[in-house]
């Protein structure tokens, strides 16, 4: 786990569906990462990894898996585009070293990143 500004993050490279990735994070008393600023998003930086946003409950009604409000928005230009079925989950993507969000199919396995409160000890490890 990596300690950043009072939160603990862990990157998981083994691809899982969004639902399974979230369940994995919950096993560690966390949830899928919810970036609250661009700076925090840089810590998460990787391409096409699941983070905690979805509109699975209400098409177009994007919400964070941990229930926190959307105070920071960073959709890639033209996103969410609602193209194709099942693009109800959010991935962090990069283009020209700029990290943005894209909507994607929840059932297509992707790497993911978990976030948990610092009340749990963060054992510092290399990301990856």
Report how far residue 82's alpha carbon sits from residue 35's, in angstroms, rounded to the nearest whole number. Answer: 21
- Model confidence pLDDT, tens digit, residues 37-49: 777 777 776 778 9
pLDDT tens-digit readout, 38-78: 777 777 767 789 999 998 888 888 899 988 888 888 888 88
Residue 30 lies in a domain: yes
Exposure string over 95-120, b if 16+ CB within 10 A, otherwise e: eeeebbbbbbbbeeebbbbbbbeeee
Instruction: Give domain status of residue 124, yes or no.
Output: no
State residue 37 phi and psi, 5-degree precision.
Answer: -160, 165
The reported pTM is: 0.84
**H or E element in which residue 78 lies:** none
In a domain, 123, yes or no: no
- In CATH, what number is assigned to the domain containing residue 63? 3.10.100.10
- Total domains in the chain come to 1
126 domain-assigned: no
Pairwise CA distance, residues 87 & 103, whole Å: 5
53 part of a folded domain: yes
Domain interval for residue 82: 2-117
């Amino acid at each position: 786990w990596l300690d950043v500004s009072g939160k603990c993050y862990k990157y998981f490279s083994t691809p899982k569906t969004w639902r399974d990735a979230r369940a994995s994070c919950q096993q560690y008393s966390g949830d899928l990462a919810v970036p609250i600023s661009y700076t925090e998003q840089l810590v998460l930086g990787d391409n096409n990894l699941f983070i905690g946003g979805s509109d699975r409950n209400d098409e177009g009604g994007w919400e964070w898996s941990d229930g926190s409000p959307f105070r920071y928005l960073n959709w890639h230009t033209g996103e969410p585009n609602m193209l194709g079925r099942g693009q109800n989950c959010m991935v962090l993507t990069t283009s020209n070293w700029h990290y943005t969000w894209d909507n994607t199919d929840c059932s297509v396995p992707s790497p993911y990143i978990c976030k948990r409160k610092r009340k749990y000890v963060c054992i510092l490890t290399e990301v990856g």
